[in-house]
Amino acid sequence: MVNIRHLIDDVKCFETVRDLRWPQGVTCPHCGAARITKQGHDTTQPARLRYRCQACQKLFDDLTGTILAGHHQPLRVWIPCLYFMGLNLSNEQIGRELDLNPDDPQTMTTKLRKGIVERKPV
């Protein structure tokens, strides 16, 4: 069986997040300004870029203010989790496919469902 996690590249995941989140270019999640400077990479996830807003001077990264921020699972695990949710796999099946600790799929799918509901257009 193919391990789907090995098919997903960190760099491509973060590029996709940036393209979807900021199609017109990076803007500050705190104040909305577009005057941004790059501040290097995250030390634990090199594909994750850091920025500083020139208007409010706050630091942020690709995931700041998203449901994916602050979790120990890398983005390359969240993406197939979402895919498997779309296939209607159970949390137990998702955990097996992604080789996760038993509690992780429940936490992840709950966060993803909550985020999808909050972003659902009216």
Structure confidence by residue, pLDDT tens digits, 16-58: 889 889 999 999 999 999 999 999 999 888 999 999 999 999 9
Say what angle helices 91-98 and 104-119 make with each other, to 10 degrees: 110
CA distances from 121 to 27, 30, 43 (A): 22, 22, 35
Provide the whole-model pTM: 0.76
Q: Which residues of 19-50 are buried (b: 16+ CB within 10 A; e: fewer)?
A: eeeeeeebbbbeeeeeebeeeeeeeebebbbb
Amino acid, single-letter form, for residue 20: L
Residue 107 above 90 pLDDT? yes
- The three-point CA angle 72-74-78 to 5° equals 105
Bridge partners (DSSP) of residue 47 are none
| Residue 122 banded pLDDT, cuts 50, 70, 90 | very low
The whole-angstrom separation of Cα 105 and Cα 119 is 21
Structure-token pair, residue 17: 């997040």
